Amino acid sequence: MNAAVSNPLVRISASVPSATLRGASIAGRVFGAALALLVAFDQSYDPTQAFTAIAAGLVLATLVQLRGGWGDVLAAFGAGLVFFSGTVLTHFQSGIGMLAVGLLAGLATFTFAYRSGRDATLPAVAFIAAALVTAPLQAAIVFAFE
């Protein structure tokens, strides 16, 4: 038996239609940006407001539709921004939600790339690379306000 067929995760992902995967990737990024903006409007602490507003803007910028592998990379980067911004905000309920929808969007993007016959390595690297944006962004905002 083929190892890919015996893997239950591959079987589950194969049962999800491609349009649903694409929609989950987009919805995860949109909901993640909305949750970040919810934190921005709910909090009075200026650094938190600045971080969440900038993070939401960056995530919304990844909604630009590109074809092929670069579209996968951009979508995965946006999902990573949602996820890693959520890690900064885990002390808020919205931050936990951002973790969840960022992970969902990332998994949907990786699966869509794989199902489209493209290697999911570059999107996975883009997802992780989002941490290299969120951490310096947070540090820069804290130093700017403190």
Arithmetic mean of pLDDT, 69-86: 96
Higher-scoring residue by pLDDT: 124, 44: 124
Higher-scoring residue by pLDDT: 16, 33: 33
**How is the chain split into domains, by residue range?**
24-145
pLDDT at residue 76, as a whole number = 97
Q: Which two tokens stand for residue 24?
A: 């989950």
| Measured CA distances, 73 to 51, 64, 76, 89, 101 (Å) | 23, 12, 5, 24, 17
Quick: pLDDT tens for 111-133. 999 888 898 899 999 999 999 99
Closest-CA residue to 70 (of 113, 105, 100, 29) = 113
